[in-house]
A and B are shown apart, each in its own frame.
Chain A
Amino acid sequence: MKDEALKVVESVLAQGRTAMVEYEAKQVLRAYGLPVPNEKLAKTLDEALKYAEEIGYPVAMKLMSPQILHKSDAKVVLLNIKTPEELRKKWGEIHENARKYRPDAEILGVLIAPMLKPGREVIIGVTEDPQFGHALMFGLGGIFVEVLKDVTFRIIPINERDAEKMIREIKGYPILAGARGEEPADIDAIVELLMKVSELVDELKEYIKEMDLNPVFVYEKGGGAVVVDARIILKVPEEREREIGQSYREKCA
């Protein structure tokens, strides 16, 4: 698990970058058994057509560029592509949008992904605190996190009970439990996700600075969950060394 993820990390760092593109972040997640869609990175139009055929239409296209981290702002996420003809047309369009947004954008390829059935949106995140180390965040996605900041934190590593408590203590929990006659969401799948992210970050804590899995779609009980979009920010190598050398820390009074 760790070796596979480290390969991705090292290759990104070797390119002088600390921000992983979605495709790379998802490879790290996949290495730890997190549910990510069956996506493929196409470097050419021919590859894109081949992958779309394999995945089955309709598909989504997401252009991967280290310079474009806010993909929707740059209009480089195109959804619901139904036919090879449409894909050909959109291939040109997505590249043009990228160039318009950032003429210098280095393009790693276009992610061809299956269209996902919508689920209840949650966000799982990681940040590093200078005193306590990495912390795991959980909340409902969209307006709940943006406006209401209805999120909760735990220090990594967490145990299963911490994970369960996190899910239950957000104000929006009834939405997951099944408010207004809805079927309950797959809470066990969220617990598993939180546990796996905790394990991943605990093992790679010297490398990972921050992480957002946003959104994650959670389906009805028994239906599981899937990470729709992900980003990982790595520590710059110097930052890592400084931390290791800092055995005596100044304290405040």
Chain B
Amino acid sequence: MGEKIVEELRPFFDPKAVALIGATNKRGKVGNVIFENFKRNRENGSFRGKLYPVNPKLDEIEGYKVYHSVEELPDDTDLAVIAIPAKFVPATMRDIAGNGIKAVIIITGGFGELGEEGKRMEREIYEIAKANGIRVIGPNCVGIYAPDTGVDTVFLPDEKMDRPKSGPIAFVSQSGAFAAAMLDWAAGEGIGIGKMVSYGNKIDVDDADLMDYFIHDDGINVVTFYIEGVKDGRKFIEAAKRITRVKPVVALKAGRTEYGAKAASSHTGSLAGQDVIYDAVFKQTGIIRADDFEHMFDLAKAFARLKGKLPKGNRIGIITDGGGAGVMASDAVARFGLRMAELSEESRRFLKEHFPPHAVVGNPTDVVGDTDAERYRLAIEAFVNDPNVDAVVVIVLFQVPLLEDEKIIDILADYQERSGKPIVAVAMGGRKTEHYAKMLEERGVPVYPTPERGVRALAGLVRYAEYLRKA
């Protein structure tokens, strides 16, 4: 099952030669932005394939030879990106079938989302693809962003939308606008995206296909989905069960409203909104459901940074240098269905022995405002070695006077690296704190701006670990 899908989808992510149908030299046009993306990536070395612009009216764009038709394209073409008006797409698909290209991204909109004629064209395209073994992404999408291989069909110009660096997170989005906004945002946050796929009307390649592909993608260790609707529910469930055994999947499902119009004649029918059904599907398949955009990336970041390290249970230990933040974290532990760890006698003895009398030993352990990095280290040492603690939240208010910034960052990164228990950090504050948070992130520690968000992300890890233990 798996290898076939990898072979079929490979040209989308790592093409030998891309035909850009509808390439143009007119600034701002979709066919121009995508051309510029590939050209730029060829120049910076990330795109190592060939680029074949196709346009019947042009002979050359910025030094690239332009092909006048699909028939003229060289034999090594293995991906076609279509950015021409909808009415010409079915005929172009037939040409593509004749040429032997097996992977097509249809950027063009104006299909099924507009009505009957569009749906008819989609069906026609789908039939051609099926009959010729062509896989299609789209139509009505922004396609693919894969920084490692320089594939970028996102038609938002570089000067208007930042591109994120590569990373272990895959992002799949039904909505193109959402995908583009997310890429821009991830770039700003320093979150690495290894592959982004926006599939729009998904007449062919769908969530299930992508899950099967990402199982085998070693560069990806967490897959995130923005889903509006699933077309083939059974296929989705089967694929989800396969991938969640191997790597975590986080989903944000839009449209939490009920499909109340469906007259239900049973009690059960009246209680079953679409949303509870999606909840059921996610629980059953081990997909971690995100409540919102922020939650989705909080979870993705935790999974990505911790590289498969998962808590063995739900007992959380909290270390803080501020009492209030510790209370907020403890509240969040209860709210997100976790438990406060009961520190062992040994840990308590160890900490009491080393701590000044005004520091609070317990859970939370408060190293208090006159702390230095060493006091944090002792607390972390006790917590990660305590058999009653499954995961640790370390709240660092970087503002306290005696705390050596570089040293605490080293300590956290070191324990994250060496300890078998996941550690998430919480750093609350302004610009200076953000600077330290970035440094921590770069050292592989997931950092959150509030205790709630840190604990909520950890709760997702706990839930996924529970699912794996029982699967």
Residues of A in contact with B (beta carbons under 8 Å apart): 19, 123, 125-127, 129, 131-133, 135, 137, 145, 149, 151-155, 158, 161-162, 165, 210-212, 214, 231, 233, 248-253
Say yes or no for B265: interface residue by CB 8 A criterion: yes
Q: Decide if A253 touches B266 in the complex (CB within 8 Å).
A: no
Check A133/B265 contact, CB under 8 A, given A155-B284, A253-B200, A253-B201. no
Report the separation of the CA atoms of residues A132 and B126 in the bound assembly, to the nearest whole angstrom.
23
Report the separation of the CA atoms of residues A248 and B269 in the bound assembly, to the nearest whole angstrom.
26
**Nearest-CB residue, chain B, relative to A69:** B265
Report the minimum CB–CB distance from B420 to chain A (whole Å). Answer: 26
Chain B residues whose C-beta falls within 8 Å of the C-beta of A125 in the assembled complex: 266-268, 271
For the complex of A and B, list the 7 residue pairs with the smallest distance between their C-beta atoms, beginning with the closest: A125-B268, A132-B233, A210-B266, A131-B233, A153-B280, A127-B272, A127-B269
Chain B residues whose C-beta falls within 8 Å of the C-beta of A131 in the assembled complex: 229-233, 277
Check A135/B112 contact, CB under 8 A, given A153-B280, A210-B265. no
Q: Decide if A248 touches B237 in the complex (CB within 8 Å).
A: no
Chain A residues whose C-beta falls within 8 Å of the C-beta of B123 in the assembled complex: 248
Q: Decide if B264 touches A251 in the complex (CB within 8 Å).
A: no
Chain B residues whose C-beta falls within 8 Å of the C-beta of A249 in the assembled complex: 231-232
Report the separation of the CA atoms of residues A131 and B419 in the bound assembly, to the nearest whole angstrom.
43
Report the separation of the CA atoms of residues A152 and B231 in the bound assembly, to the nearest whole angstrom.
23
Question: Which of A158, A162, A212, A252 counts the most chain B CB atoms within 10 A?
Answer: A252
Report the minimum CB–CB distance from A124 to chain B (whole Å). Answer: 8
Check A155/B280 contact, CB under 8 A, given A251-B229, A252-B229. yes
Residue of A123, A149, A233 near B265 (CB, 8 A) is A233
Chain A residues whose C-beta falls within 8 Å of the C-beta of B283 in the assembled complex: 154, 165
Q: Decide if B112 touches A251 in the complex (CB within 8 Å).
A: yes
Q: List 19 A-B contacts (CB under 8 A).
A: A123-B268, A125-B268, A129-B272, A131-B231, A132-B233, A132-B277, A151-B271, A152-B276, A153-B277, A231-B266, A249-B231, A249-B232, A251-B201, A251-B229, A252-B113, A252-B228, A252-B229, A253-B174, A253-B175
Report the separation of the CA atoms of residues A251 and B118 in the bound assembly, to the nearest whole angstrom.
12
Q: Decide if B119 touches A133 in the complex (CB within 8 Å).
A: no
Chain B residues whose C-beta falls within 8 Å of the C-beta of A152 in the assembled complex: 276, 280
Q: Decide if A19 touches B265 in the complex (CB within 8 Å).
A: yes
Chain A residues whose C-beta falls within 8 Å of the C-beta of B228 in the assembled complex: 252-253
Chain A residues whose C-beta falls within 8 Å of the C-beta of B200 in the assembled complex: 253
Report the minimum CB–CB distance from B179 to chain A (whole Å). Answer: 12
Q: Decide if B266 touches A129 in the complex (CB within 8 Å).
A: no
Report the separation of the CA atoms of residues A127 and B276 in the bound assembly, to the nearest whole angstrom.
12
